[in-house]
Amino acid sequence: AQSVTQPDIHITVSEGASLELRCNYSYGATPYLFWYVQSPGQGLQLLLKYFSGDTLVQGIKGFEAEFKRSQSSFNLRKPSVHWSDAAEYFCAVGARGGATNKLIFGTGTLLAVQP
Amino acid sequence: KAGVTQTPRYLIKTRGQQVTLSCSPISGHRSVSWYQQTPGQGLQFLFEYFSETQRNKGNFPGRFSGRQFSNSRSEMNVSTLELGDSALYLCASSTGTGESETQYFGPGTRLLVL
């Protein structure tokens, strides 16, 4: 069965520090992978996605993620965090094969940014 | 291009009532998916509609249903509301022409069941 694990429920970083949010997935083949961000009371905004090709993908707001097949991971990184990055971050996988857009989400990582 | 819109944004109902939520996808998008978000269960897939047909369904009871209209707008209905149905209901749209395309989410409808 497909699943996504985000081991860190809550992370606090100082403004200007680097950030890495972890995501591990379980899937029989290479899935489609996504990172979304959710601000309080808002919907989900797509940060970046991996479908195929280059394993290092760039997204919006200075975020990037690296797909590592051997580790079944898709960690999100940002070199310098801004206070406005405080939000909840969700990793998601989508299935290959079959006409479906179903996404399976991780439990999310809540990011707090200290001044 | 306007984003995904959901109405209403907030809703308060009592147990046993039913509720209908509405979602208007991005213009040109034909696939609409619905998700439930709760603190305990996280984000869970409810169902997906494409060209007025349900294409995929999550593991929810039959009280949860949906439909899609010819203009791609979608509604979901929850009958006989339970306290546990209190959640943020998110709608997402995509073009629907491929598998696992990029989905764009609306702001959600927050439902409180008393």
Cα angle B106, A39, A115; round to 5: 160
β partners of residue A34: A49, A92
- Say how far apart CA B63 and CA B113 lie, in whole Å: 15
Q: What percent of chain B has pLDDT over 90?
A: 87
Tokens linked to A52: 């195929």
B-chain CB neighbours of A92 within 8 Å are 43
Q: What percent of chain B has pLDDT over 70?
A: 96
Mutation pick from A50, A102, A105 vs chain B, by most beta carbons of B within 10 Å, is: A102
- Say how far apart CA B93 and CA A5 lie, in whole Å: 25
Average pLDDT over residues B81-93: 97
pLDDT at A105 over 80: yes
Q: Which residue of A has its CA nearest to B5?
A: A43
Average pLDDT over residues A92-99: 75
The whole-chain average pLDDT of chain B stands at: 94
Candidates A58, A67, A51, A104; CA nearest to B98 is A51
B62 Cβ contact partners less than 8 Å away, ≥ 6 residues apart: none
- Say how far apart CA B13 and CA B22 lie, in whole Å: 16
pLDDT, one tens digit per residue, over B32-45 is 999 999 999 999 99
Q: Radius of gyration of chain A from Cα atoms? A: 14
